[in-house]
Amino acid sequence: MLTELERRILNFIGEYLRENEGRAPTLSEIGEGCGVNSVGTVHRYVSSIEDKGFLNKAGKGWRTRLAPNELPFRGKIAAGRPIEAIEDAESIDVGALVLQPDCFTLRVEGDSMIECGILDGDLVIVKPSQTAKNGQIVVALVNNEATLKEFKRIDGGRRIELISHNKEHRSQIYASDAVEIQGILQTVVRTYSSS
């Protein structure tokens, strides 16, 4: 079981990995992000987290310390004109992109968000939150029904617009007290099947 500080450090590392395409933070960055002044203390806690099986060492040194579920990153691939194939020796922690502490998963039903790349049948990973900023994609509860939409405050915050990303669907506008935010979209997971 993780201590409260170990959990904060693990959450920081996971968030850092997601924001930096799988690159691990330094001990100093971990300390700064978690409010720990001593690099030695951070080292001790990271070692404890590793001993408990929540982190794996990859490559040399602390900079490449990554969580489990790492896959080799081989570079870029063109989805338009072909580009030169140059293999990269990095790795990406796929688990850190998908397995996020304190989040929950929902399966999308419907096509109201297809123009921003969220399709019927996709899994979405959502971080619980009761507040949102304009432009964030949220899980919103309206009249005991949940929906996935872009969030926008209008009329000085008196009303909320839940914006669809499909020209076939209209945005929905509600009084601000009629909308309850359940969480913020973090990741979309899609599996490809050729059948």
For 135-194, how does the pLDDT look when each residue is reduced to its tens digit (9 = 90+)? 999 999 998 889 999 999 999 999 999 999 999 999 999 999 999 999 999 888 887 765
At the second CATH level, the architecture of 104-189 is Ribbon (2.10)
Q: What is the pLDDT of residues 92-130, one digit of tens each?
A: 666 666 666 678 888 999 999 999 999 998 888 888 999
In the chain, domain spans = 4-98, 104-189
- In the annotation, is 112 catalytic? yes
- Active-site pick, 57, 149, 152, 194: 149
Helix (H) or strand (E) run with residue 94 in it: helix 94-98
Query: Residue 178, Cβ neighbours under 10 Å: how many?
Result: 13
Of residues 35, 33, 13, 32, the one with CA closest to residue 24 = 13
Q: In this structure, which CATH number among 3.40.50.150, 1.10.10.10, 3.40.50.2300, 3.60.15.10 belongs to the domain 4-98?
A: 1.10.10.10
Which residues are CB-contacts of 13 (< 8 A; sequence separation ≥ 6)? 24, 25, 30, 46, 55, 65, 67, 96
- Give the CA-trace dihedral at 155, 160, 162, 168, to 10 degrees: -40
Identify the residue with better confidence: 1 or 8.
8
Average pLDDT, the chain: 80
pTM above 0.75, yes or no: no
* Sheet with strand 145-154: strands edge to edge: 104-107, 123-128, 179-189, 137-142, 145-154, 159-163, 172-175
- Active-site pick, 38, 47, 57, 112: 112
- In the annotation, is 149 catalytic? yes
